[in-house]
Structure 1
Amino acid sequence: MAIQKIIEVLSIKDYFLFFILIFATYVFNFYYKYLTRPNPLPGPLPLPFIGNLHNIAYDLKLFYEECRLKYGDICEVMLDGHRWIILSRPEYIEKIMSSKCLKRFPCSEGLVELGFYGHGIAGNDVEKSWKYNRQFFTQALLVPKFMDNAVKLTNKLFDELSGYWQSLGKQNTSNNNNDNWTLETDISAWFHAFTNDIISIIATGERTYSIASYYNTQSTIKSEHPDALVEDGNKFVKSIINHLEAIMFFMLVGPFWRHYVPIVGNKANFYLKNRDYINEKLDFMIKKRRKEIEEMSAGTEMRTDMLTSLIIANTEKDTTNIKIVGDETFEPMIDEEIRGNLLDAFGAGTDTTANSICYIVYYLCKYPNVKQKMISEIDSIFSNKSYLTSDDLSKLKYCEAIIKETSRVMTAGNFITRCMTEESEVAGYKWAANTIFQLNIVGVHSHPEVWSNPEVFDPDRFYYVDNGDDKQLENKYSLIMFGGGPRICPGRKLAMDELLLLMASFYSYYNVELVDMHKPLKIVSALVNNVQEMKVRISPRIN
Structure 2
Amino acid sequence: MAFPILLLCLVSTIMFASIVWRKQNKTLLPPGPIGLPIIGHLHLLSPTPHQEFHKISIRYGPIIHLFLGSVPCVVVSTAEAAKEFLKTHETSFSNRPAKTVAVEALTYGFQDFLFAPYGPYWKFMKKLCMSELLGGHMLDLFLPVRRQETHRFVKRVHQKTGEAVNFGGEFMTLSNNIVSRMTMSQASSENENEDEEMRKVVADTAELVGKFNISDFIWFLKSFDLQGFNKRLKKIHHRFDVVMDRIIKEREEERRKNKETGGTRGFKDMLDVLLDIYEDENPEMKLDKDSIKAFIMDILVAGTDTSAVTMEWGMAELINNPRVLEKAREEIDSVIGKSRIVEESDIINLPYLQAIVKETMRMHPAGPLIFRESSRGAVVCGYNIPAKTRLFINVWAIGRDPKHWESPLEFRPERFIENGASGLDVRGQHYHLIPFGSGRRMCPGASLALQVVHVNLAAMIQCFQWKVEGGNGMVEMQEKSGITLPRANPIICVPIPRLNPFPFMSLF
Task: State the TM bucket, normalised to the shorter chain.
Answer: 0.7 to 0.9
* Candidates 98, 102, 109, aligned match of 2:93: 102
1:67–1:469 CA distance, 2 compared to 1 (3 A): closer
Contact 1:413 1:527 survives alignment (8 Å): yes
Q: 1:200 aligns to what?
A: 180
CA shift for structure 1 position 107: 2.8
Whole-angstrom CA distance in 2 between matches of 1:519 and 1:48: 42
* Candidates 342, 351, 357, aligned match of 2:296: 342
Q: 2:437 aligns to what?
A: 483
Contact 1:186 1:534 survives alignment (8 Å): yes
Moved more, 282-291 or 342-351: 282-291
CA shift for structure 1 position 140: 2.3
Contact 1:64 1:442 survives alignment (8 Å): no
1:21–1:458 CA distance, 2 compared to 1 (3 A): same
* Amino acid paired to 1:373: K
Instruction: State whether structure 2 residue 202 is matched by structure 1 residue 240.
Output: yes
* Amino acid paired to 2:15: V
CA shift for structure 1 position 21: 4.0
Render the CA deviation track for 1:471-509: whole Å, top value 9, x for unaligned: 647971110111110111111110000001111211221
Give matches, 1:277-296, under 5 Å. Answer: 277-296=239-258
Aligned Cα RMSD in Å? 3.0
CA shift for structure 1 position 524: 1.0
Whole-angstrom CA distance in 2 between matches of 1:36 and 1:186: 54
Q: 2:117 aligns to what?
A: 125
1:144–1:528 CA distance, 2 compared to 1 (3 A): closer
Q: 2:483 aligns to what?
A: 527
CA shift for structure 1 position 85: 0.3
1:106–1:308 CA distance, 2 compared to 1 (3 A): same
* Candidates 145, 154, 163, aligned match of 2:146: 154
Secondary structure of the structure 2 residue equivalent to 1:525: coil
Whole-angstrom CA distance in 2 between matches of 1:440 and 1:386: 41
Q: 2:497 aligns to what?
A: 540
Q: 1:186 aligns to what?
A: 166
Contact 1:311 1:332 survives alignment (8 Å): no
Q: 1:422 aligns to what?
A: 376
CA shift for structure 1 position 438: 0.8
Render the CA deviation track for 1:162-207: whole Å, top value 9, x for unaligned: 33334333xxxxxxxxxxxx33332222212222222222221113
Secondary structure of the structure 2 residue equivalent to 1:393: helix
* Candidates 55, 64, 76, aligned match of 2:53: 64
Instruction: State whether structure 2 residue 442 is matched by structure 1 residue 503.
Output: no
TM-score of the aligned structures, taking structure 1 as reference length: 0.81
Instruction: State whether structure 2 residue 126 is matched by structure 1 residue 134.
Output: yes
1:102–1:58 CA distance, 2 compared to 1 (3 A): closer
Whole-angstrom CA distance in 2 between matches of 1:257 and 1:299: 55
Whole-angstrom CA distance in 2 between matches of 1:481 and 1:112: 21
Render the CA deviation track for 1:413-439: whole Å, top value 9, x for unaligned: 221111222332212213233322111
* Candidates 393, 409, 424, aligned match of 1:439: 393
Contact 2:94 2:440 survives alignment (8 Å): no
Whole-angstrom CA distance in 2 between matches of 1:275 and 1:489: 24
Render the CA deviation track for 1:419-474: whole Å, top value 9, x for unaligned: 22233221221323332211111221111112222122221222389xx7756479
Contact 2:172 2:199 survives alignment (8 Å): no
Whole-angstrom CA distance in 2 between matches of 1:244 and 1:64: 20
Instruction: State whether structure 2 residue 19 is matched by structure 1 residue 28.
Output: no
* Amino acid paired to 1:234: E
1:304–1:379 CA distance, 2 compared to 1 (3 A): farther
CA shift for structure 1 position 401: 1.2
Give matches, 1:40-439, under 5 Å. Answer: 40-98=29-87, 99-108=90-99, 110=101, 113-114=104-105, 116=107, 118-144=110-136, 146-169=138-161, 182-207=162-187, 209=188, 229-249=191-211, 253-254=215-216, 256-261=220-225, 263-264=226-227, 266-296=228-258, 297-298=261-262, 300=264, 302-313=266-277, 330-331=284-285, 333-383=287-337, 386-439=340-393
Whole-angstrom CA distance in 1 between matches of 2:403 and 2:148: 44
Contact 1:203 1:306 survives alignment (8 Å): yes
1:51–1:204 CA distance, 2 compared to 1 (3 A): farther
Secondary structure of the structure 2 residue equivalent to 1:417: strand
Whole-angstrom CA distance in 1 between matches of 2:223 and 2:140: 48
Render the CA deviation track for 1:31-51: whole Å, top value 9, x for unaligned: 333333352433343333333
Whole-angstrom CA distance in 1 between matches of 2:46 and 2:145: 38
Unaligned runs of 5+ in 2: 501-508
TM-score of the aligned structures, taking structure 2 as reference length: 0.86
* Amino acid paired to 1:92: A
Render the CA deviation track for 1:5-25: whole Å, top value 9, x for unaligned: xxxxxxx4x764554444333
1:470–1:399 CA distance, 2 compared to 1 (3 A): closer
Contact 1:120 1:341 survives alignment (8 Å): yes
Contact 1:511 1:539 survives alignment (8 Å): yes
CA shift for structure 1 position 536: 2.1
Q: 2:25 aligns to what?
A: 37
* Amino acid paired to 1:136: L
Whole-angstrom CA distance in 2 between matches of 1:361 and 1:390: 18
Whole-angstrom CA distance in 2 between matches of 1:133 and 1:349: 16
* Amino acid paired to 1:369: R
CA shift for structure 1 position 149: 4.9
Secondary structure of the structure 1 residue equivalent to 2:223: helix
Whole-angstrom CA distance in 2 between matches of 1:15 and 1:476: 56
Render the CA deviation track for 1:333-384: whole Å, top value 9, x for unaligned: 4322222221111111122111111111111122222222211222234336
Secondary structure of the structure 2 residue equivalent to 1:523: coil
Percent identity, aligned pairs only? 22
Secondary structure of the structure 2 residue equivalent to 1:537: strand
Kindly name which structure, 1 or 2, has the bigger radius of gyration based on alpha carbons: 1
Secondary structure of the structure 1 residue equivalent to 2:75: strand
Q: 1:221 aligns to what?
A: none
Contact 1:183 1:537 survives alignment (8 Å): yes
Contact 1:102 1:420 survives alignment (8 Å): yes
Q: 2:506 aligns to what?
A: none
Whole-angstrom CA distance in 1 between matches of 2:340 and 2:276: 35
* Amino acid paired to 2:452: E
